[in-house]
Each structure stands twice: as structure tokens, then as C-alpha cells.
């Protein structure tokens, strides 16, 4: 089976969410194959279904002054930060073709980054029995939060590559106060080429889901969305 992958660069959160919701409908109708969007967002805070506004530390006025957009969304999890240097992936997969097993879906995403970090960078990462995501010691490097509708997934993961970690001080990430966050840049002591890291993520993700990656040009995606605006 194939995985269409679209590299979208830096995209405003609401636009990416609109694209996801459109692709979700197309996947539910089996009009497209499994697809994943890879991108970065401008500085953004999102709040999941069970999110607590108290986990946003900065006031509305301070957030506005910093140019931070805030969205309440339908994924699981609490409060999450997105920003430049963070690689965000939105896999839109039909889980009927991947075992109909939501815990296994999360586990495979986690394993994607555990294997990538070990084999590409020699970093030992793992899971926390209490909290989802991928951790290096007591610091999270990949956050995971998804929604599933009629067995099709949306939302996904946020991998801290060159992320500005000081921005996480604006929130209690995922509602967790006793642990920290980290990034590849912090762990390796140098910034990474995010295009190179994107290619690595594609390879390791596809290994976990037994998919064959195929890059879809942005123009082809937009053509698809224009053609199916009435879905």
C-alpha cells in the first residue's frame, strides 16, 4: 500500500486543519489513498478535547502581543505548542487497513521516532507508561495527539527538531508540570536540516505501517482539493 506524502513547508494552522478535514472525508469515501502532511506552523497553541485553559500560562493579552494564535481542536490530549523548527505530521490513514487497533496506531507512531532517534542519531528514546509521546529521559521530544472518525485518523505528531524550547514556558505542555521538553538541536548541540529530518521521518513512519512512500506535489494536492470542494 502507498502513502502519499505532501511537504507543505510553513503553513498557518487553520489552513492545515481545513485541508486535513477535507482529506479525512475523501479517505472515508475511499477516494484517496492514505496520505500524510508534513509541515511547520507559525507560533501556535492548540487545546485538545479535554484540554484545560489553565495550562496556558500567558494571558490572552501577552499571547496576542507575541503573535500567538490559539485554537481549540478535536484531537485528544491537552495543550500543545507548535512553532517554526518543529516538524508536524498529520497522517490521514484508514485504520481498517491497519488492524483497527488505536493503541497499536499510537505505539507505531512512537516507535517511528524511537527507531529514528536511535539509528540516525544514536539517541536512546522511549515511552512513558503514564504519558503518550516519545521521551529522552524525562523530556518529551515528540508529542502525539489524534482523532479518529469512522476509522480514519487526523491530527498526529509534533517532533521537536529546532524548536524554540523557551516557548514551552508559555504552557504546561500536555498538562504535564513535572517533566520537560527537548529537541534534536538541544540534544546534538547544533541545528538540523529539517528537510533531511523530514525524509527520515517518512522512511521510518512507512516502515512501521508497511507503506510505500510517494511524494505528492503541493500543486497536485491543491488541484485535488479544488476538484472535490463539494465532498
Q: What is the pLDDT of residues 102-145, one digit of tens each?
A: 999 999 999 999 999 999 999 999 999 888 899 999 999 999 99
Measured CA distances, 225 to 6, 74, 153, 176 (Å): 13, 22, 18, 37
Q: Residue 176 — very low, low, confident or very high, per pLDDT cuts 50/70/90? A: low
Query: Of all residues in the chain, what percent carry a pLDDT higher than 70?
Result: 97
Give the pLDDT score at 197. Answer: 98
Q: What is the pLDDT of residues 32-75, one digit of tens each?
A: 999 999 999 999 999 888 777 788 888 888 888 888 888 888 88
> Is the separation of the CB atoms in 87 and 38 below 8 Å?
yes
Of residues 79, 152, 174, 184, which has the active-site annotation?
174
| DSSP sequence for 159-218 | EESS--GGGGGGB-GGG--S-EE--HHHHHTS---HHHHHHHHHHHHHHHHT-EEEE--H
What is the second-level CATH architecture of the domain 2-227? 2-Layer Sandwich (3.30)
Does the pLDDT of residue 228 top 70, yes or no?
A: no
Query: Of all residues in the chain, what percent carry a pLDDT higher than 90?
Result: 74
Does the pLDDT of residue 230 top 70, yes or no?
A: no
Tell me what the pLDDT averaged over the chain comes to. 92
Integer Cα distance of 38 and 40 in angstroms: 7
> Is the separation of the CB atoms in 89 and 169 below 8 Å?
no
Our answer to whether residue 206 is catalytic in this structure is no
Give the pLDDT score at 231. Answer: 41
Integer Cα distance of 85 and 193 in angstroms: 10
Amino acid at each position: 500500500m502507498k502513502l502519499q506524502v505532501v511537504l507543505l513547508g510553513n503553513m498557518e494552522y487553520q489552513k492545515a486543519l481545513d485541508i486535513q478535514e477535507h482529506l479525512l472525508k475523501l479517505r472515508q469515501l475511499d477516494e484517496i489513498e492514505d496520505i500524510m502532511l508534513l509541515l511547520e506552523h507559525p507560533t501556535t497553541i492548540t487545546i485538545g478535547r479535554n484540554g484545560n485553559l489553565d495550562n496556558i500560562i500567558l494571558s490572552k493579552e501577552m499571547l496576542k502581543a507575541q503573535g500567538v494564535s490559539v485554537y481549540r481542536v478535536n484531537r485528544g490530549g491537552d495543550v500543545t505548542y507548535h512553532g517554526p523548527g518543529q516538524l508536524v505530521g498529520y497522517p490521514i490513514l484508514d485504520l481498517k487497513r491497519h488492524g483497527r487497533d488505536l493503541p497499536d496506531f499510537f505505539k507505531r507512531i512512537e516507535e517511528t521516532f524511537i527507531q529514528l532517534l536511535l539509528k540516525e542519531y544514536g539517541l536512546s528514546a522511549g515511552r512513558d507508561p503514564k504519558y503518550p509521546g516519545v521521551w529522552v529521559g524525562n523530556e518529551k521530544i515528540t508529542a502525539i495527539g489524534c482523532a479518529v472518525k469512522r476509522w480514519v485518523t487526523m491530527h498526529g505528531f509534533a517532533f521537536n527538531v529546532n524548536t524554540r524550547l523557551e516557548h514551552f514556558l508559555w504552557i504546561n505542555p500536555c498538562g504535564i508540570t513535572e517533566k520537560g521538553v527537548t529537541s534534536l538541536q538541544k540534544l546534538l548541540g547544533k541545528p538540523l536540516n529539517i528537510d533531511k529530518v523530514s525524509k527520515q521521518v517518512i522512511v521510518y513512519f512507512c516502515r512501521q505501517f508497511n507503506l510505500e512512500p510517494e511524494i505528492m506535489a503541493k500543486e497536485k494536492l491543491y488541484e485535488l482539493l479544488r476538484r472535490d470542494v463539494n465532498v
